[in-house]
């Protein structure tokens, strides 16, 4: 931190949008406190873009973000906002931004939130994105706020399921979140010591017959229980559990973790990234950057162009899966 005052910005807005992610509060805190440190007014917008359109706006001061770093969810609340898919809704959001006299709008959210921001940028809004989704599936950045907490929650669940499935010599099929992406699934699979992981991007199809074959092989080498992780995007968890039990005769239980993984006190990793990205977002605004997003790549925080970042590609490193299979023997 230089402590020097840079380009004078008078007022910014901050909102959280889309699915909540642990660490969003640490990001809000960092945005509010950095802005106030540099004498910039901040307004908090409730319920994401819906609150912008509906005018649910309040001034935020440093004390408003006391004791929030440790909280899951988002103190500003969030929503998925269908109105942002319409010209009318977008025009209204941009008009309110102007009426409020904002110099920038900081949006903490996932790729759907960035799409909204990109549309607003065409209507004169200076949009600044901070990547936050438990799914990790945003382009241009290696890290998204919430991922680490979600994986730790999943791993903790797997630890507990391991206890009971081992005691009963059962198979456990565990569904973790991730509609379009398997990052949570492969990380949970690796860190929870799963025998098999099914995820949407898998290069060669892992179907129920492969999983069953694996379980039978495992039994022949003396394994007493199996943990199978299924990403939400693959689905069919209950059906798979039933099929495993019918074909192998091994008692099998299905557990769907669902929104459990979206809550909880954020880990140190999430708090750190959220705090640093929140700080750098305000610095970027002060430096006169327009329509940019925060990113974390190769150990460094970066500021990327919003539209360019959305064009970038990101693919799950499937070597993690290959290693899971080696370690699961
Ligand atoms: O994007 C995060 C995520 O938790 C996905 O993993 C999941 O598919 C989706 O959000 C669920 O969204 P909703 O909040 O609408 O239930």
Cβ(179) – ligand 1 distance below 6 Å: yes
In the 3-class helix/strand/coil scheme, how is 115-152 assigned residue by residue? HHHHHHHCCCCCEEEEEECCCCCCCCCCCCECHHHHHH
Q: What residue's CA is closest to ligand 1, atom 8?
A: 179
DSSP string, 207-244: -HHHHHHHHHHHHHTT---EEEEEETTT--HHHHHHHH
Per-residue confidence (pLDDT) for residue 303, from 0 to 100: 98
d(CA 24, CA 117): 17
**Is the distance from CB of 235 to CB of 182 less than 8 angstroms?**
no
Per-residue confidence (pLDDT) for residue 193, from 0 to 100: 97
Per-residue confidence (pLDDT) for residue 7, from 0 to 100: 53
Cβ(133) – ligand 1 distance below 6 Å: yes
Task: Give me 67's structure tokens.
Answer: 């004791």
d(CA 211, CA 161): 18
Report in angstroms the alpha-carbon separations of 165 from 2, 94, 179.
54, 53, 26
Per-residue confidence (pLDDT) for residue 80, from 0 to 100: 86
Task: Give me 158's structure tokens.
Answer: 């797997």
Q: What residue's CA is closest to ligand 1, atom 5?
A: 178
Per-residue confidence (pLDDT) for residue 206, from 0 to 100: 81
Closest-lying ligand 1 atom to the alpha carbon of residue 137: 1
Closest-lying ligand 1 atom to the alpha carbon of residue 150: 4
| Domain pair 11-146+266-311 / 149-262, same fold | yes
Residue 60: which of 83, 78, 41 has the closest Cα? 41
**Mutation to probe ligand 1, out of 114, 179, 184, 199 (largest number of atoms < 8 A from CB):** 179
Cβ(110) – ligand 1 distance below 6 Å: yes
Query: Which CATH topology does 11-146+266-311 take?
Result: Rossmann fold (3.40.50)
Per domain, the residue ranges of the chain are 11-146+266-311, 149-262
Cβ(232) – ligand 1 distance below 6 Å: yes
Query: Which CATH topology does 149-262 take?
Result: Rossmann fold (3.40.50)
Q: What residue's CA is closest to ligand 1, atom 14?
A: 19
Cβ(119) – ligand 1 distance below 6 Å: no
Q: What residue's CA is closest to ligand 1, atom 13?
A: 19
d(CA 85, CA 79): 14
Per-residue confidence (pLDDT) for residue 3, from 0 to 100: 45
Cβ(44) – ligand 1 distance below 6 Å: no
* Residue 135 among the catalytic residues: yes
Report in angstroms the alpha-carbon separations of 200 from 133, 148, 153, 205.
17, 20, 21, 9
For the chain, 329 residues long, give each residue's pLDDT as a single digit of tens. 444 445 589 999 999 999 999 999 999 999 999 999 999 999 999 999 999 999 999 999 999 999 999 999 999 999 989 999 999 999 999 999 999 999 999 999 999 999 999 999 999 999 999 999 999 999 999 999 999 999 999 999 999 999 999 999 999 999 999 999 999 999 999 999 999 999 999 877 788 999 999 999 999 999 989 999 999 999 999 999 999 999 999 999 999 999 999 999 999 999 999 999 999 999 999 999 999 999 999 999 999 999 999 999 999 999 999 999 999 98
Q: State how far Cα 46 lies from the chain centre.
A: 19
Of 103, 111, 135, 137, which is the active-site residue?
135
């Amino acid at each position: 931190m230089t402590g020097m005052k840079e380009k004078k910005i008078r007022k910014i807005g901050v909102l959280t949008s889309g699915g909540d992610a642990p660490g969003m509060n640490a990001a809000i805190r960092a945005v509010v406190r950095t802005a106030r440190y540099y004498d910039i007014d901040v307004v908090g917008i409730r319920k994401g873009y819906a609150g912008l359109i509906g005018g649910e706006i309040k001034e935020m001061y440093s004390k408003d973000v006391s004791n929030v770093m440790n909280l899951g969810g988002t103190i500003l609340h969030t929503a998925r906002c269908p109105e942002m898919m319409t010209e009318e809704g977008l025009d209204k959001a941009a008009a309110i931004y102007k009426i409020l006299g904002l110099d920038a709008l900081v949006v903490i959210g996932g790729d759907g939130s960035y799409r909204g921001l990109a549309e607003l940028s065409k209507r004169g809004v200076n949009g600044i994105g901070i990547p936050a989704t438990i799914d990790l599936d945003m382009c241009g950045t290696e890290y998204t706020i919430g991922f680490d907490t979600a994986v730790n929650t999943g791993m903790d669940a797997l630890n507990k399921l391991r206890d009971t499935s081992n005691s009963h010599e059962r198979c456990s099929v565990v569904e973790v979140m991730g509609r379009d992406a398997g990052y949570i699934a492969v990380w949970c699979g690796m860190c929870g010591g799963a025998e098999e992981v099914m995820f949407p991007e898998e290069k060669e199809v892992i179907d129920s017959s492969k999983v069953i074959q694996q379980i039978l092989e495992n039994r022949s080498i003396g394994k007493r229980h199996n943990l199978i992780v299924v990403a939400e995007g693959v689905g069919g968890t209950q059906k798979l559990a039933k099929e495993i039990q019918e074909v192998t005769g091994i008692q099998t239980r299905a557990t769907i973790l669902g929104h459990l993984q979206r809550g909880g006190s954020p880990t140190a990793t999430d708090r750190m990234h959220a705090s640093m990205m929140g700080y750098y977002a305000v610095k970027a605004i002060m430096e006169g950057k327009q329509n940019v997003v925060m990113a974390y790549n190769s150990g460094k925080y970066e500021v990327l162009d919003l539209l360019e970042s959305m064009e970038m590609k990101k693919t799950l490193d499937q070597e993690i899966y290959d290693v899971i299979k080696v370690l699961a023997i």
